[in-house]
Amino acid sequence: MSTPPNVIQAARLKKGFDRGRRDRLISIASPLILLLIWEIAARAGLIDQRFFPAPSKIFMTFLKLAGNGELWSNTWTTLVRLFWGTLVGGIPGLLLGVAIGLSRPLRAVVDPLVSATYPVPKSAIFPLLLLICGLGEASKIAMVAIGVFYPVLINTATGVLEINKIYLDVGRNYGANRWQVFSTIALPGAVPHIMSGIKLGLGLGLMLIAIAEMIGSKSGLGYMIWNAWELLSVEQMYVGLLVIAFLGFVLSTILTEIERKLVPWKTTR
Amino acid sequence: MASSTQPRSAPTPGDVPVKIRLRNLTKSFETPSGTVTALDNVSLDIAEGCFFMIVGPSGCGKTTLLRILANLETATSGSIEISAPAENRPGNSMVFQGDSLFPWMTVWDNASYGLRLRHVPKTQIKEVVGHYLDRTGLTRFAHSYPHQLSGGMRQRVSIARAFANDPDILLMDEPFSALDEQNKLLLQEELLRIWEETRKTVLFITHSVDEAVTLGDRVMVMTAQPGRAKEIADVPFERPRSVLELRSRPAYGEFVYSIWGQLRDEVQRARARDLGETKA
């Protein structure tokens, strides 16, 4: 007796399902296994504990730093700087990006300026920012702002330029004024590009804030890592690195979620 | 063109006020290979409430003519007179060829676009847009996004958007050219039905003689590049029309044939020109 086709299909489906579950299990297990190997290797003295302390020791340090509040206050300080820097850099980047995307003359003015200043390593500007803004919060916020500004500006302008010309024709034919062209066509049409600009900018901002805090600050995660080097507390350094990595991950997850809400027309339901 | 029946419902410049008056309208473009004349001395009167069709071979400047009237391009020379719109309604609204719906707006937001730009009161928007979505069978899809709709549905939204804006003149640029034959027929029927409610002045561009005769009061045949008015014919069929019934009549076939006669030479000229260009 031959097997009915729907049974074969069901079997195939089940196999596919099992494979999906297996893949998920592997992707959860692989970092855990790596941690386990690391732990064993560190305890057995196979790797140098001065550079690669056992994960359990890092975790204990994490608990200690979390317990005395040092970790939270540093994380909070970094987040606040990141927040203000993103606003201060992102909003002008967005507005200017839309403007140069819409206006040819403005593009002619701004384009060479961006091309000339963009390649300057942002971290190299920090001493200058310290001179201008002093040792206070302003210099750190400015550092993040510069990092966020460029990707948002460039991506927004690209996004606006890539909007199909027919949409601008529709706006003109239906009598949209400048503000309405901006708010109903240029801005929403560029949102997908703007979001990737913000993501890139935040990543860069996180990098720059760490550097800025190492050099010119007595607080924040960057300072915590630098301080750990001075104290030769490698575990604390790892805790700082992990928290920064985690922040990057969480921020990008939040942005992806926001993007899904803002751009329902890019996802098929 | 002589026709046996008097065009009862086809307004002629004699008895109805002229809505659009074009005189010696010329448009030329500068291209690397020299000046190209898209429109050459087009003079034309379009009566108020007339469903005016323009047929011509591709590249005859018919879209250019429409875009000039829509204020999206300017003529090189010549004059355009359009009688002022009644009340404070917009001068014209265009139904574009191809996808022109904003992908980031729902069907409702697309259809209400013109009214929202003009800050029309919400209750009025609701009434007007609701009406046209209903007439185009889109009520169920009001909160869908364009990418979730078929090509025919999307073009219905475009039509609803133009009608809801309540303009004095409707400009239609080959709105059905990308649709399959069945959808085209349905949309032509729907367009006629909706148009009957208001009988606005319509300027409709097409490359299909069938479409021109089915929908229009008058049909203008344009010459191949440079675009000139070759012939203007009154369509002798009464309204309201049923597309299928109309097409089954012998008189319809004869009329389409006579328009085709005018157009055929132009299509061949356009073809010869294209072939010449590829050789050169």
* Domain boundary assignment for chain B: 1-91+168-280, 99-166
How many Cα atoms sit within 13 Å of B171 on the Cβ side?
22
**pLDDT, position B5:** 39
Instruction: Residue B118: list chain A partners with CB under 8 A.
Output: 175
**pLDDT, position A16:** 64
- CB contact (8 A) between residue B117 and residue A175: yes
Terminal-to-terminal C-alpha distance of chain A? 42
Burial of B168 (0-12, 13-18, 19+ CB in 10 A): buried
Q: Min CA distance, A173 vs chain B (Å)?
A: 6
Do B42 and B229 form a contact (C-beta atoms < 8 A)?
yes
User: Is B279 touching A (CB cutoff 8 A)?
Assistant: no
Q: Is the pLDDT of residue A222 over 50?
A: yes
Instruction: Indicate the DSSP class of residue B218.
Output: E
Do A74 and A224 form a contact (C-beta atoms < 8 A)?
yes
Q: Is the pLDDT of residue A160 over 90?
A: yes
Kindly report, residue by residue over B166-179, the tens digit of the pLDDT.
Answer: 999 999 999 998 88
- The β-bridge relationship of strands B218-222 and B229-234 is antiparallel
ipTM over 0.90: no
Kindly report, residue by residue over B210-233, the tens digit of the pLDDT.
Answer: 999 999 999 999 988 788 888 899
User: Is B90 touching A (CB cutoff 8 A)?
Assistant: yes
- Angle made by CA atoms A106, A107, A108, in degrees to the nearest 5: 90
Kindly report, residue by residue over B17-35, the tens digit of the pLDDT.
Answer: 889 999 999 998 888 888 8
The top-level CATH class assigned to B1-91+168-280 is: alpha beta
CB-closest option in B100, B105, B117 to A166: B100
How many contacts, defined by CB atoms under 8 Å, are there between A and B? 55
User: In chain B, which residue's Cα lies nearest the Cα of A172?
Assistant: B72
Pick the CATH number of A55-266 from 1.10.3720.10, 3.90.1300.10, 2.40.50.140, 3.40.50.300: 1.10.3720.10
User: In chain B, which residue's Cα lies nearest the Cα of A263?
Assistant: B104
Terminal-to-terminal C-alpha distance of chain B? 38
- CB contact (8 A) between residue A263 and residue B104: yes
Token pair, residue B272, equals 């010869």
Q: Is the pLDDT of residue A137 over 70?
A: yes
**pLDDT, position B29:** 87
Helix (H, G, I), strand (E, B) or coil at B134: helix
The mean pLDDT of chain A is: 89
A-interface mutation test, from B69, B104, B112, B154, most A Cβ less than 10 A away: B104
The mean pLDDT of chain B is: 88
Q: Is the pLDDT of residue A122 over 80?
A: yes
Going by pLDDT thresholds of 50, 70 and 90, the confidence category of residue B61 is confident
CB-closest option in B70, B104, B165 to A265: B104
User: In chain A, which residue's Cα lies nearest the Cα of B114?
Assistant: A174
Do A174 and A136 form a contact (C-beta atoms < 8 A)?
no
- Domain map (residue ranges) of chain A: 1-49, 55-266
